[in-house]
Amino acid sequence: MTDLLVSRPDIPPLTVPPRLLLGPGPSLVDPRVLQAMGTPLLGHLDPQFVEIMDRTQVMLRYAFQTRNPITIPVSGTGTAAMEAAVANMVEPGDSVLVCVSGYFGLRIADMARRYGGDVEVINRPWGQVFSPEEVKQALDRRPAKIVAIVHAETSTGVCQPLEEIVRIVHAQGGLIIVDAVTSLGGVPLKVDEWGIDVCYSGSQKCLSCPPGISPITFNSTAIQKLEARKTQVTNWYLDLSGVGKYWGKERTYHHTAPISMVYALYEALQIVLEEGLEARWQRHRTNAALLWSGLEAMGWELHVPLEYRLPSLTTPRVPAGVDEVLLRQRLLKEYNIEISGGLGELKGKVLRIGLMGYSSRPENVLLLLAAIQKVS
């Protein structure tokens, strides 16, 4: 029947169990967003699609609290947005300071080295924040053109205060890249008010959109740095000089946008608009507080002090006598609930529970607490 070398495999249809996603991302996606993704496609240069792109940018500016014209979604997951920030800002030989207190800080440092940055790292134990003084001391020792720091560390559950650090970075003439993957749309983030130069995020955390498209914003300082580059950006796909023209006034073809993902982001941002950022931040705080008090009532300890605790991601310490792998397996198998284990320094020491976007609901907290009691 066929002379093909590789014959047709027998593969069952797609079936997906109904998971309650309470891990570090993806979060549950609002059914309205799932429906938007099923919308038939437009061409990526269709005037109607261009209008959708424009409106998406307007909504993203609200979410980021910025007026930056270059506020766009990158055509990839959060790591691609991180790489877009690093690849465009870091030129070979540039001095870069990366503040590392978790997995994603490490990743930024790795990327900055790959793009030729002269990288210095300052460290904090995972679960702690950097003080402005530490950053100032590091920059006094060696000024840096670029400082990178994580606002919301998905690996530790820490929310890093930024305003004072941004001032210090600017005072010594550098620019700052902020990772807001786990804060955008769920935790207060004010790009313009705080003076952040480059800020990126993901879609699958507090925006509750599927992964595959990732917001990023560059202010005029960042654009000037980009325009003053002496070398081309090595990364073609994420080169802002091309991507920016596709999303900007020129509409020059660069690469095909992930159209259905843009629809999804559009709808997810509509939901953010309807709820309003401040109400959304409050909801994340309220439901996180419910989780925290529930865990503490069970005698569990939370790894991050209240002052720096992220509402979107909680890291309870694994209690003595609890097999955390088994706990997670049983939650998944018996109750279809996904939470996650620790990474790196915190592997085996903490669990990671996300209450992000559509997942941040009191009924999910109640169910999780009840299920943990059943299986631990």
Judged by CB under 8 A, which of 29, 162, 178, 346 binds a second copy? 29
Q: Which residues of 92-121 are buried (b: 16+ CB within 10 A; e: fewer)?
A: eebbbbbbbbbbbbbbbbebbbebebbbbb
- Rule CB under 8 A: choose which of 141, 142, 251, 255 binds a second copy: 255
CA distance 156 to 346: 8
Considering only residues 129 through 168, tell me which ones interact with a second copy, judged by CB under 8 A.
none
Closest CA to 146 of 109, 218, 80, 95: 95
Binding-site member from 211, 248, 294, 319 for a second copy (CB under 8 A): 211
Q: Which among 100, 156, 109, 170 has a CA at the least distance from the CA of 130?
A: 100
Q: Which 315-344 positions form the footprint of a second copy (CB under 8 A)?
A: 332, 338, 340, 343
Residue with Cβ nearer a second copy (98 or 135): 98
Please count the residues of this chain forming the interface with a second copy, following the rule CB under 8 A: 96
Q: Count CA atoms closer than 13 A to 366's CA, side-chain side.
A: 3
CB of 83 to a second copy, least distance (A): 5
Instruction: Confirm or reject binding of residue 6 to a second copy (CB under 8 A).
Output: yes
Q: How far is the CB of 301 from a second copy (least distance, A)?
A: 25
Rounded Cα distance between 284 and 357, Å, is 8
Taking CB under 8 A as the criterion, the residue among 161, 258, 294, 319 binding a second copy is 258
Segment lying near a second copy (by CB under 8 A), choices 28-36, 120-128, 139-147, 164-172: 28-36
Looking at residues 50 to 89 of the shown chain, list those that interact with a second copy (rule: CB under 8 A).
52, 55, 58-59, 61-62, 65-67, 75-80, 83
Instruction: Tell me the window of 22-30, 131-139, 159-167, 303-311 that interacts with a second copy (CB under 8 A).
Output: 22-30
Query: Judged by CB under 8 A, does residue 347 bind a second copy?
Result: no
Binder of a second copy out of 224, 241, 256, 373 (CB under 8 A): 256
Q: Nearest distance from residue 281's CB to a second copy, in Å? A: 10
Of 344, 17, 367, the C-alpha closest to 156 is 344
Task: Output 129 or 283, the one with its CB closest to a second copy.
Answer: 283
Of the two residues 67 and 142, which places its CB atom closer to a second copy in the complex?
A: 67
Amino acid letter, residue 335: Y
10 Å Cβ neighbour count for 54? 11
Q: Is the peptide bond before 161 cis (omega within 30 degrees of 0)?
A: no
The string over 317-352, giving b where at least 16 C-beta atoms fall within 10 Å of a residue's C-beta and e elsewhere, is bbeeeeebeebbebbbeebebbbbbbbeebeeebbb
Residue 195 found at the interface with a second copy (CB under 8 A): no
Does the footprint of a second copy cover residue 26 (CB under 8 A)? yes
| Pair of tokens at residue 54 | 């424009």
Of the listed pieces 136-144, 230-238, 286-294, 360-368, which binds a second copy according to CB under 8 A?
Answer: 230-238
Residue from 102, 117, 185, 210 binding a second copy (CB under 8 A): 210
As a whole number of angstroms, the distance between CA 209 and CA 221 comes to 30
Considering only residues 72, 73, 104, 107, which one is a binding residue for a second copy as defined by CB under 8 A? 107
Could you tell me which residues are beta bridge partners of residue 175?
146
Exactly one of 136, 167, 190, 245 binds a second copy (CB under 8 A); that residue is 190
232 vs 373 by CB, closer to a second copy: 232
Q: Is 202 in the site for a second copy (CB under 8 A)?
A: yes
User: 262-321: which residues touch a second copy (CB under 8 A)?
Assistant: 263-264, 266-267, 269-270, 273, 276-278
